[in-house]
Structure 1
């Protein structure tokens, strides 16, 4: 069994007032409230989502 790389992200800005697709991306990454964190597998799809909303999150 191989070990998967993970990436940990934290929501640092409110998605209120952003595009609907950006709010959906925040929810898709498992982030709810400000300062909530989520640890996800480091895949190209997740990297793309992170790049899309990079102005709202911080990668830990």
Structure 2
């Protein structure tokens, strides 16, 4: 069985003074502190959440 592809996501922006919807997306990604890095499965839903926050998250290698 092939291993599931994963990506690492890093929070680069603060949720202070952001819309509540953007804060909830960050929490859903598992990010809550600046410069925190999490590893998640690469799915279309995850890519969509990342696309909504290009100013707050970055994909790292």
TM-score (norm 1): 0.94
Equivalenced residues, count: 60
Which sections of structure 1, spanning at least 5 residues, go unmatched?
none
- Where has structure 1 moved over 4 Å in runs of 4 or more? none
Deviation of 1:32 after TM superposition, in Å, equals: 1.2
1:47 matched to 2:43? The reply is: no
| TM-score (normalised: structure 2) | 0.92
The unaligned stretches of length 5 or more in structure 2 are none
Give 1:2 shift. 2.0
* CA RMSD of superposed structures (Å): 0.7
* 1:1-60 superposed matches below 5 A: 1-60=1-60
